Amino acid sequence: MVSKITQGFWATVARTILRNRILILTLIAGVTVFMGFQWKHMKFATTEANLLPDDHPTNIEYQTFLEQFGEEGNVMVLGIKDSSLFTPNHFNRWNKLSKQLQAFPEVDFVLSLDNLQELVKDTINEQFTLKPWLKDTPQDKSEINALTEHLFNNLPFYENLIFNKESGTVRTLVYLDKDIVNTNVRKDFILEDFSTLVANFEEETQMDVRISGMPYVRTKNAQNIIDEMGKFVLAALLVTSLIFFFFFRSVRATLISMCIVLIGVMWSFGTLGIFQYEITVLTALIPPLIIVIGIPNCIFLINKYQQEVKKHGNQALSLTRVIAKIGNATLMTNATTASGFATFILTNSKLLKEFGIVASINILGIFILSLLIIPIVYSFMSMPKTKHLKHLNKKWIDSFVKWMENIVRHQRINVYITSVILLVISIIGIYKIDISGSPIEDMPKGEAFFEDIRFFEEEFKGIMPVEIVVDSKRKKGIMKPATLKRMDRLGQAIEEVPELSTPVSVVNLVKYSKQAFYNGIPKYYQLPTSQENSFILDYARKSSDNSDLLSGFVDSTGQVARMTTYMRDMDTERMEEVEKDLLEEVAKIFPSERYEVYLTGKALLFLKGTKYLVNNLILSLALAIGLIALFMAYLFRSVKMILISLIPNLLPLVVTAGVMGFAGVPIKPSTILVFSIAFGISVDDTIHFLAKYRQELNSSGWKIRKSVYASLRETGVSMFYTSIVLFFGFSVFVISNFGGTVALGALVSATLLFAMLANLVLLPSLLLSLERSIANRKTLKKPQINILPSEVDQEGN
């Protein structure tokens, strides 16, 4: 009863589409124009993706830190490692660059050789004052040598902050206005004014300026994402159109398909605009994904149309059958693919939710476009000519299908042995997989800004800030000698970690105060003793300059202080070790009843977020498998059939995970997507095969072997076509500069190709081996929906 209703529904849909062709095309054009107008609402990511939910404890701690001290990732650094810098022309030009940067309203403050301040003792007023290190413009190299010798040997406060004493590397710190750090103003300033100034300096001096810092890295990385999105769309269009033309040898079929996916791309951009989602490294993948996923729809529909034309030569009947016979099947396959992406919506990650919403909506959108446009456009065209139908008789495709059939007939034991061997090897590989929580893991390795990150890691221990927040639980408690000594002990522990830079905190300022009190003698750069403390702090309290310096390290109440260190890029396991060691030191140094101390910062936030994301993605994959199993249950009403259908789709995922382990590809936000995407797409082949198998069982009087081989012959060609398109379509991502995107493309391509072989070899083999237990009228009940209506049903229509 249900199947007859379904057939009647699709027959009605077919008549409605073909009778309202002009109206439907007008509506599509109207929606496309509307979507085009939404592009202006698209936003480009101005902040790092926060992978944690707002109510996660780590996120709450980070937000508390931002409220107390403001944006921590607002520092850009310029560095030079070149002895020619210490010549008058270059030295003064470097200082001029600092002045130019300071003149911009987007810049809050510049700390450089040009404006370094020395803390000195004013014995008359009994206070400390700041005096410029550079009083006049140096005219010769001897003056510069004297200045740098004084800086390197007598001002330890600035060591590893402004200079590296061992290598002679010098850097300038550019503090951006915290209000513009997470806006497009930052992007415009960095890509235009800032980059122009640096380029002019390099051209005039012929020196190489290294640039880094989180604002700069984020801006350049975001620009790469935007540039790559256009590159992916063009590459996906080119690759899929060439493959499509190779298969069909029809210019008009290729052009129709390209028009459909281009409209789909426009709709995907429009969807991003409607929801006002930011374009991130994930949402940037959606337009090319729509192309790659949309082309198989076109293949199924156009292939069926040409088969029908070849069969009886009646165009109107052919177009009606395309909609009625393939419409339900493509709806089911697109629904399962969309479901795989939609499971991301159920996670607590904003990044994944947005990706899941836009991807699932547009996958269904490209299905609707294909189903409407292809029959309508072909209805206005002449019948396909003989040359357009030649591809239906390709001998090499027939040879491929016969080869598959021969394996299923005679090599089933070998198929099972091979599958088990692959399974065992893959499980071994899975145990070798690492999780990557590095913020720069996926950044383009060949870009200059990535090389500069490595430069600053080598010279100054990194650019990724880690913050240690010390709450003394009482007002003005931070400046108590006992608290300062505890912070100094923690600072010494941090210095012993090779991946962390020397921390900067109020402790450095107090040490500098003691050095100043003793007339700048470097050996006194240390915390005051209990006897010295009272009169040195008396000097400090009278110093207004000192109060200004304190504001960056201690909150307005004097209760909470920050210690800032910078971290090298390291693997997740080492990062967790460092965090664990630091927390152990904190527990030893700061009694929990008197202090509250926690670690925060963008680097740790990303680490926690990645682990949280991995857990959520495992959940989303489990949900996708469960959801698609429910689809199978509804369609075939057989528990055994569900299990059989999942085996050839889960095995490729296990093999891919094993390959990742052996190849050293870590689990990270980009690569974990492989499994949900590949599973959602590969199960389409299973649905097509089993739907045809069920149809053949009915028409052959439940002759199982005949049904399996007939299904393999009929669906094999389409499965081969679509799998090849998907393979090369996803392969375009390997041209990316982002390592994660390259891995995503390569792994999904390989998984889908292996899934095709599993569905063409392993699935039929299982059906034949288990024929007595699954293929009988009691076990395999009448389906809820006939995905592929029988020929008799269609003739009746």
Please say whether the dihedral angle defined by the alpha carbons of residues 705, 707, 709 and 710, taken in this order, is positive or negative: positive
- Find residue 173's DSSP bridge partners: 77, 111
**Quick check: helix, strand or coil at residue 667?**
strand
Torsion region of 450: left, alpha or beta (phi above 0 gives left; psi -120 to 50 gives alpha): alpha
- Model pLDDT, residue 790: 47
Residues 6+ apart with CB under 8 A from 573: 434
Higher per-residue confidence, 196 vs 300: 196
- Model pLDDT, residue 421: 93
Check if the beta carbon of residue 610 is closer than 8 Å to that of residue 669.
Answer: yes
Distance of alpha carbon 235 from alpha carbon 433, whole angstroms: 31
- Model pLDDT, residue 559: 92
Check if the beta carbon of residue 354 is closer than 8 Å to that of residue 284.
Answer: no
pTM: 0.76
The secondary element (H helix, E strand) that includes residue 741 is helix 739-757
- Model pLDDT, residue 198: 93
pLDDT higher than 70, residue 787: no
Q: Vertex 309, ends 306 and 313: CA angle to 5°?
A: 165
Distance of alpha carbon 59 from alpha carbon 181, whole angstroms: 19
Burial class for 82, CB neighbours closer than 10 Å (0-12, 13-18, 19+): middle
Identity of the amino acid at 360 = S
CATH class, domain 2-48+219-431+606-796, is: mainly alpha
Distance of alpha carbon 680 from alpha carbon 657, whole angstroms: 16
Name the least confident of 266-270, 284-288, 395-399, 554-558.
Answer: 395-399
- Find residue 667's DSSP bridge partners: 435
pLDDT, one tens digit per residue, over 550-605 is: 667 888 888 999 998 988 888 777 888 898 999 999 999 999 999 999 999 877 88
Mean pLDDT to the nearest integer, 100-123: 89
pLDDT higher than 60, residue 458: yes
pLDDT, one tens digit per residue, over 6-17 is: 567 777 888 888
C-alpha distances in Å from residue 121, one per residue of 131, 395, 514: 10, 93, 10
- E strands in 167-240: 170-176, 210-212
pLDDT higher than 50, residue 216: yes
DSSP designation for 80:
E
Closest CA to 269 of 47, 33, 46, 49: 33
Check if the beta carbon of residue 290 is closer than 8 Å to that of residue 363.
Answer: yes
For strands 210-212 and 560-567, give the pairing: unpaired
Closest CA to 187 of 219, 158, 214, 142: 219
C-alpha distances in Å from residue 318, one per residue of 196, 462, 498, 589: 62, 65, 71, 80
Percent of the chain with pLDDT over 90: 24
Higher per-residue confidence, 607 vs 754: 754
Burial class for 344, CB neighbours closer than 10 Å (0-12, 13-18, 19+): buried
pLDDT band at 204 (very low <50, low <70, confident <90, very high): very high
CA atoms within 13 A on the CB side of 748: 31
Tokens of 95: 């200082």
pLDDT higher than 50, residue 511: yes
Cα 364 from chain centroid (whole Å) = 23
pLDDT higher than 60, residue 546: no
Q: Mean pLDDT, the chain, as a whole number?
A: 83
For strands 43-44 and 278-279, give the pairing: parallel
Percent of the chain with pLDDT over 70: 90
pLDDT higher than 80, residue 369: yes
Tokens of 279: 């374009």
Tokens of 385: 């000519």
pLDDT band at 80 (very low <50, low <70, confident <90, very high): very high
Tokens of 452: 């500069």
Check if the beta carbon of residue 481 is closer than 8 Å to that of residue 531.
Answer: no
For strands 75-80 and 170-176, give the pairing: antiparallel
Closest CA to 112 of 133, 129, 128: 133
- Model pLDDT, residue 90: 93
Torsion region of 439: left, alpha or beta (phi above 0 gives left; psi -120 to 50 gives alpha): alpha
pLDDT, one tens digit per residue, over 220-267 is: 887 887 788 788 888 888 888 888 888 777 788 889 999 999 999 999
pLDDT higher than 70, residue 795: no
For strands 210-212 and 170-176, give the pairing: unpaired
pLDDT, one tens digit per residue, over 330-363 is: 787 788 788 778 878 877 777 778 888 999 999 9
Name the least confident of 19-28, 40-49, 102-111.
Answer: 40-49
Mean pLDDT to the nearest integer, 70-89: 88
Q: How many CB atoms lie within 10 A of CB 37?
A: 10
- Model pLDDT, residue 794: 42
pLDDT band at 660 (very low <50, low <70, confident <90, very high): confident
pLDDT higher than 50, residue 792: no
Q: What are phi and psi of 64, to 5 degrees?
A: -65, -40
pLDDT higher than 50, residue 796: no
Q: What is the largest CA-CA distance in the chain?
A: 110
Mean pLDDT to the nearest integer, 647-672: 83
Q: Where in the chain is the domain with CATH 1.20.1640.10?
A: 2-48+219-431+606-796
C-alpha distances in Å from residue 698, one per residue of 7, 716, 782, 789: 16, 20, 10, 11
pLDDT, one tens digit per residue, over 137-159 is: 888 889 999 999 999 999 998 88
Higher per-residue confidence, 276 vs 776: 276
Mean pLDDT to the nearest integer, 178-185: 82
- Model pLDDT, residue 603: 77
Check if the beta carbon of residue 137 is closer than 8 Å to that of residue 75.
Answer: no
Name the least confident of 29-43, 677-691, 757-771.
Answer: 677-691
pLDDT higher than 90, residue 420: yes
pLDDT higher than 80, residue 437: no
Please say whether the dihedral angle defined by the alpha carbons of residues 327, 331, 337 and 341, taken in this order, is positive or negative: positive
Q: Compute, in degrees rounded to 10, the torsion defined by CA atoms 729, 735, 740, 741.
A: -40
